[in-house]
């Protein structure tokens, strides 16, 4: 045990001052893609960005082309899951050469994140990779962008964050800037019907952990934020297994799509302490071992909660009682039962919660710690107490 991990739970802290700003217009519902015609300026020179073959195959790209009929458009495909700097810089070049002035992302979090980076990089003076190393602090402007979402998971459609991978150095870093909020996002739940089970399960777990990173810290007098977070968690637990097994159930897909957006559009986290250490460690796991983003979170979160049980005790008990209805036994028993339920929920979606499921043994931990150190991730979490030593214990517990 290190001194840091024995930090006692904070009893309660007052809600912090905050500013809330979110300018993204949401256009939600079946058959809403034609509304692009109202949102994209008539004279715009548009670049449509997408990933692999899915958007063409499921009819989304054809519907987008039809909605933009009459406008000047170019297309840029091939943005990878975990979008790479190398690929995105080719889009930047195309935009400069063709003097394009509006970006439309059609896809999941990777395409949207990639489009945000492109928007910030086009007129950026200096090395565009520094957008990532400064986490967006040096972004002073960006091209306007809109999105058509095909995968509910990241919340990228209504936030100002982006996560980019540099292939050459195997680094995965995040940036945020108010300049890259989408102007609008079209959310048509029927566009998710073609998602493979694995991606929809990933989306459930990713959005679940987004809520946990903003909720499971220490009590901070945010009554609405807490109840809002608990409502979203309960909704995900209720619909998670069904949304995976009933691909064409509109009600389920519509609810899931909106929950995933609400999980990370800023509203539940205002004025509250936030953690994000599970995400930081998870990004290193993806960069090094190519594990899907959501799967890295399922590996890290349960161990993080166990290792930081003392600092998180108050909220863990609240989570056990309000989300899992656990009221009996000692405090420690209630907390452990809530963590076990969380793991079982992830496993029920066929998302493994152990490193061994990816054939990563104890030798795999040191390289991850070296990456965390190289990226300055040495004091993570709501109380900056997730040192490299704490991260090591979390990863060891996840073996």
Q: Tell me which residues touch ligand NZQ (CB under 6 A).
A: 51-55, 58, 81-82, 107-111, 113, 150-151, 153-156, 159, 161-163, 191-192, 194-195, 199, 202, 206, 264, 279, 293
If residue 75 lies in a helix (H) or strand (E), which one and from where to where?
A: strand 72-76
Q: Which does 87 bind (CB under 5 to 8 A by kind): Zn ion, ligand NZQ, none?
A: none
Is residue 292 part of the contact set for Zn ion (CB under 5 A)?
no
Pick between residue 208 and residue 324 the one whose CB is nearest to Zn ion.
208
Pick between residue 5 and residue 207 the one whose CB is nearest to Zn ion.
207
DSSP label of 126:
S
Q: How far is the CB of 43 from ligand NZQ (least distance, A)?
A: 29
CA nearest neighbour of 110 among 137, 60, 147: 147
Is residue 213 part of the contact set for Zn ion (CB under 5 A)?
no
Q: How far is the CB of 103 from ligand NZQ (least distance, A)?
A: 15
If residue 236 lies in a helix (H) or strand (E), which one and from where to where?
A: helix 223-245
Q: How far is the CB of 279 from ligand NZQ (least distance, A)?
A: 6
Q: How far is the CB of 223 from ligand NZQ (least distance, A)?
A: 26
Pick between residue 57 and residue 96 the one whose CB is nearest to ligand NZQ.
57
Contact 347, 240 (CB under 8 A): no
Quote the distance between the C-alpha of residue 210 and its chain's center.
7
* 325, burial (CB in 10 Å: exposed 0-12, middle 13-18, buried 19+): exposed
Contact positions with Zn ion (CB under 5 A) in 75-104 = none
Q: Which does 82 bind (CB under 5 to 8 A by kind): Zn ion, ligand NZQ, none?
A: ligand NZQ
CA nearest neighbour of 78 among 54, 102, 96: 54
Strands ordered across the beta sheet of 145-149: 25-28, 184-187, 145-149, 102-107, 45-50, 72-76
| CA distances in angstroms from 243 to 255, 293, 307, listed in the order given | 9, 19, 31
Quote the distance between the C-alpha of residue 88 and its chain's center.
19
Pick between residue 53 and residue 370 the one whose CB is nearest to ligand NZQ.
53
Cβ atoms < 10 Å from Cβ of 335: 21
Q: How far is the CB of 384 from Zn ion (least distance, A)?
A: 21
Pick between residue 100 and residue 112 the one whose CB is nearest to ligand NZQ.
112
Q: How far is the CB of 238 from Zn ion (least distance, A)?
A: 21
Contact 105, 49 (CB under 8 A): yes
Q: How far is the CB of 155 from ligand NZQ (least distance, A)?
A: 5
Site size for Zn ion (CB under 5 A): 1
Contact positions with Zn ion (CB under 5 A) in 190-209 = 206
Is residue 275 part of the contact set for Zn ion (CB under 5 A)?
no
Pick between residue 334 and residue 342 the one whose CB is nearest to ligand NZQ.
342
Q: Which does 159 bind (CB under 5 to 8 A by kind): ligand NZQ, Zn ion, none?
A: ligand NZQ
CA nearest neighbour of 116 among 36, 177, 184: 177
Binding residues for Zn ion (CB under 5 A): 206
């Amino acid at each position: 045990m290190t001194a840091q991990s024995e930090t006692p739970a904070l009893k309660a802290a007052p809600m912090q001052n905050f500013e809330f700003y979110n300018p993204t217009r949401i256009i939600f519902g079946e058959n809403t893609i034609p509304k692009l015609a109202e949102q994209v300026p008539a004279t715009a020179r548009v670049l449509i960005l997408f990933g692999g073959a899915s958007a063409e195959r499921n009819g989304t790209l054809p519907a987008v082309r039809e909605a933009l009929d009459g406008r000047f458009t170019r297309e840029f495909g091939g943005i990878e899951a975990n979008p790479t700097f190398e690929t995105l810089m080719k889009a930047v070049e195309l935009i400069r050469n063709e003097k394009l002035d509006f970006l439309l992302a059609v896809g999941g979090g990777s395409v949207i994140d990639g489009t945000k980076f492109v928007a910030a990089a086009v007129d950026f003076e200096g090395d565009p990779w520094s957008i990532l190393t400064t986490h967006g602090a040096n972004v002073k402007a960006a091209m306007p962008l809109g999105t058509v979402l095909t995968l509910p998971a990241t919340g990228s459609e209504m936030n100002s964050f982006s996560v980019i991978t540099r292939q050459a150095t195997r680094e995965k870093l995040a940036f945020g800037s108010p300049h890259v909020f989408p102007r609008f996002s079209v959310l048509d739940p029927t566009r998710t019907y073609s998602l493979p089970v694995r991606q929809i399960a990933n989306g459930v777990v990713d959005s679940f952990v987004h809520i946990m990173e903003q909720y499971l810290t220490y009590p901070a007098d945010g009554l609405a934020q807490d109840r809002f977070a608990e409502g979203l968690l309960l909704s995900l637990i209720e619909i998670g297994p069904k949304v995976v097994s009933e691909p064409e159930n509109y009600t389920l897909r519509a609810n899931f799509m909106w929950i995933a957006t609400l999980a990370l559009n800023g509203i539940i986290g205002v004025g509250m302490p936030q953690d994000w250490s599970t995400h930081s460690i998870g990004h290193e796991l993806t960069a090094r071992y190519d594990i899907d983003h959501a799967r890295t979170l399922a590996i890290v979160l349960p161990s993080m909660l166990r290792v930081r049980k003392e600092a998180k005790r108050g909220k863990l008990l609240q989570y056990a009682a309000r989300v899992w209805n656990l009221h009996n036994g000692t405090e420690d028993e209630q907390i452990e039962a809530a963590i076990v339920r969380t793991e079982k929920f992830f496993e029920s979606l066929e998302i493994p919660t152990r490193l061994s499921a990816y054939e990563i043994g104890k030798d795999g931990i040191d390289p991850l710690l070296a990456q965390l150190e190289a990226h300055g991730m040495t004091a993570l979490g709501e109380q900056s107490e997730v040192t490299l030593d704490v991260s090591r214990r979390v990863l060891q517990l996840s073996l």
